[in-house]
Amino acid sequence: MSSSPDEDPPAPTEPERWRDLDMLLSRPGNLVDANFAPSPGLRDMLGSLVEVLVVGAGGLGCELLKDLALSGFKNLHVIDMDTIDVSNLNRQFLFRVQDVGKSKAEVAAKRVMERVSGVNIVPHFCRIEDKEIEFYSDFSIIVLGLDSIEARSYINSVACGFLEYDSDDKPIPETIKFMVDGGTEGFKGHARVIIPGTTPCFECNIWLFPPQVKFPLCTLAETPRTAAHCIEYAHLIKWNEVHPGKPFDADDAEHMQWIYSEALKRAELFGISGVTYSFTQGVVKNIIPAIASTNAIVSAACALEALKLMSGCSKTVSNYLTYNGIVGTHINVSEFVRDKDCLVCGPGTLIKLDASTTLSEFIKMLEEHPKLLMSRASVTHEGDNLYMQAPEVLEQMTRQNLGVPMFELLKGATRATVHVTGMAENNGKKKSSLRKLRVAFNGVEEASKMDESS
């Protein structure tokens, strides 16, 4: 008897599901990594030993979770701060109408585990910044399905922060945290492999991302010409005039409805068409248009690169794959060059201190350093919190260290690597950043060498 078209097709048996993957992992080839050891048991080994973090559970994130689970990865985590909206349902295939208002991460994890046996996905319904840095250290690879430059930059800085260099400034292999970054916009997308210290990191090629479109306030206030101008007028000018001191919440339906109504009035006044509620949401929340087929194609590329990185079954892409489906299908691979002086994936900015320089003085130096310009800095060393700006309980616990010399806090090391989190200036804009710094003490190393020779 044939099944109803509304019913899900029967799930494949386990041998059928893994047949092609097992064949790929059990055969040698000309493009395999030098350390690749083909074996029928390699899939089980990947499943038990490799932990993968997927950042984002939206259109691309849903595809990534499904593809990674079907690529042999059994230990997955997913982190996303958003809840499911009705507008997500046309392309985020793991969600249903009854899921509206629920956590994307939790629902996506549940749905994939229901369909792929043996896979365990741990959801995290929170901001990526809410997790301690050590949370990210547990993962062998991080796969990004984000639509935010700021979020990508933060995860990139966290992953590169684990990278250590030897005395010859060469990356230490066991400290490398692999990343695969995917992104889509309409019919375009990219998949990128990031091997900190070897390939360019996100910050090395941040110029690839065009600046966000901004409108002059004089145009919004006096001569609007497009629907977007009318929406931004209601958002940036009219809201503050009518609701002084009341912050606008883009996730509040009543707030968004008010913006839409005011933008519509503005558009009618100037004879401008095109203001709709969905377009208002897109302009105010900077929503990037998404198409399900693009998400599927880019996710497949990202999952394949993750499998190649973790198994060595083939060479990885070098190092930036682009997809364009606007006219036909165009896929291209470009190899970008790493910035050896990158503040994020490089050996770390060298800061020279006197042995008497206190932690408080060190933090002040970071504000004035021309490359860093970092304010409200929190400082850690080898997992120990030297000083934390927040939360308040940690600030109180570490405040006593502010007057202690850095040489003492670093346990007499002549050179050391510290990690600093704070607000850094980038193109005139302050954003949360993580920086790795190499600290050296003036005269201390030379003195210790003299003691050894005497």
CA neighbor of 408 nearest in space, from 374, 389, 390, 381: 381
Please list, in sequence order, all residues whose beta carbon lies within 8 angstroms of the beta carbon of residue 380, skipping any fewer than 6 positions away.
Answer: 133, 386, 418, 419, 420, 421
pLDDT of residue 215: 67
pLDDT of residue 209: 73
pLDDT of residue 194: 96
How confident is residue 29, by pLDDT bands cut at 50, 70 and 90? confident
Mean pLDDT of 60-66: 96
Please list, in sequence order, all residues whose beta carbon lies within 8 angstroms of the beta carbon of residue 421, skipping any fewer than 6 positions away.
Answer: 133, 377, 378, 380, 432, 433, 434, 435
pLDDT of residue 448: 43
CA neighbor of 131 nearest in space, from 118, 147, 142: 142
The per-residue pLDDT for range 280-309, each reduced to its tens digit, is 988 887 777 778 999 999 999 999 999 999
The per-residue pLDDT for range 129-177, each reduced to its tens digit, is 889 888 999 999 999 999 888 889 889 989 998 888 887 778 889 999 9
The per-residue pLDDT for range 301-355, each reduced to its tens digit, is 999 999 999 999 999 999 999 999 988 889 999 999 898 878 788 887 888 999 9
pLDDT of residue 211: 63
Range with the poorest average pLDDT among 174-188, 189-203, 265-279, 377-391: 377-391
Q: Give the residue, 248 or 449, on which the prediction is more confident.
A: 248
pLDDT of residue 7: 61
Q: Which of 62, 201, 204, 218 is catalytic?
A: 218
pLDDT of residue 291: 86
CATH architecture of 217-285: Orthogonal Bundle (1.10)
Mean pLDDT of 229-257: 91
Helix (H) and strand (E) counts for the chain?
A: 16, 13
Domain boundaries of the chain, sorted by first residue: 14-20+31-210+290-334, 217-285, 349-441
Neighbour tally for 419: CB within 10 Å: 21
- Whether residue 60 has pLDDT greater than 80: yes
How confident is residue 125, by pLDDT bands cut at 50, 70 and 90? very high
pLDDT of residue 140: 94
Neighbour tally for 377: CB within 10 Å: 24
- Whether residue 1 has pLDDT greater than 60: no
From the centroid of its chain, how far is CA 44? 28
Mean pLDDT of the chain: 87
Q: Which CATH number fits domain 14-20+31-210+290-334: 3.40.605.10, 3.40.50.2300, 3.40.50.720, 3.40.190.10?
A: 3.40.50.720
- Whether residue 413 has pLDDT greater than 90: no
Active site residue 218: yes
Q: Give the separation between CA 184 and CA 88, rounded to whole angstroms.
A: 15
DSSP labels, 71-117: TT--EEEEE---B--GGGTTT-TT--GGGTTSBHHHHHHHHHHHHST
Q: Give the separation between CA 420 and CA 364, rounded to whole angstroms.
A: 12
Tell the CATH superfamily of the 349-441 domain. Answer: Ubiquitin-like 2 activating enzyme e1b. Chain:  B, domain 3 (3.10.290.20)
How confident is residue 11, by pLDDT bands cut at 50, 70 and 90? low
Both tokens of residue 267? 């558009």
